[in-house]
Amino acid sequence: GQQVMQIPQYQHVQEGEDFTTYCNSSTTLSNIQWYKQRPGGHPVFLIQLVKSGEVKKQKRLTFQFGEAKKNSSLHITATQTTDVGTYFCAGPGNFNKFYFGSGTKLNVKP
């Protein structure tokens, strides 16, 4: 299946600090999705990026899709304790499938 790499694996920040997770693919992606999974919960869809170089914002979250459509990033400004969770990117495969990256676990210290 599609290989989507994600870094870092873990990130511990102090509340108020920024956080960024990166997603990389060896092949061009038609689109990429981002999900958040709270501890003990299930993944929740955050956003889908489709266009080359696309940048989308959701409050303190900024999502970018690379010009070559092989990488993407999620940046959180001024983290809060409610941001705690694992953030996954997901790249498409055939027949509407999506393959998830390894995820970045974010811990925010108050």
Partner 1 sequence: GAVVSQHPSWVICKSGTSVKIECRSLDFQATTMFWYRQFPKQSLMLMATSNEGSKATYEQGVEKDKFLINHASLTLSTLTVTSAHPEDSSFYICSAQDGGRREEQYFGPGTRLTVT
Q: Rounded CA gap, 105 and 13, in Å?
A: 11
Q: Closer to partner 1 at the Cβ: 66 or 101?
A: 101
**Sole window of 17-25, 59-67, 74-82, 88-96 interacting with partner 1 (rule: CB under 8 A):** 88-96
Question: Where does this chain touch partner 1 (CB under 8 A) — which range of 17-25, 58-66, 74-82, 96-104?
Answer: 96-104
Decide if residue 20 touches partner 1 (CB under 8 A): no
Q: Which residues pair with 55 in a beta bridge?
A: 64
43 is an interface residue for partner 1 by CB under 8 A: yes
C-alpha dist (Å) from residue 63 to 55, 58, 68, 85, 95:
6, 8, 15, 17, 25
For position 96 contacting partner 1 by CB under 8 A, the verdict is: yes
Q: CA 73 to CA 8: how far, in whole Å? A: 11
Minimum distance of partner 1 from residue 3's CB (angstroms): 12
Q: Residue 54, Cβ neighbours under 10 Å: how many?
A: 18
Interface with partner 1 by CB under 8 A: which residues? 1, 31, 33, 41-45, 48, 88, 92-93, 95-103, 105
